[in-house]
Structure 1
Amino acid sequence: MIFLACCYMASKGYRGLATSRSEGYGEDLPDHLLTDPNCRKKINKMVFLWASAAAVLCLPAIGYLAYILADPDRRLSTSVLVLLTVYGLAVAMIAGYPLEKIKSYGNPA
Structure 2
Amino acid sequence: MSSQADCTVHRLTSAKEPMEKRTPLFSEHQALGAKTTVFAGWEMPVSYGPGPVAEHRCVRNSAGLFDLSHMGRVWLSGDGAQSFLQELVTSNVARLQPG
More helix as a share of residues: 1
TM over 0.5: no
TM-score normalised to structure 1 length: 0.26
More strand as a share of residues: 2
* Greater relative contact order (CA < 8 Å, ≥ 6 in sequence): 2
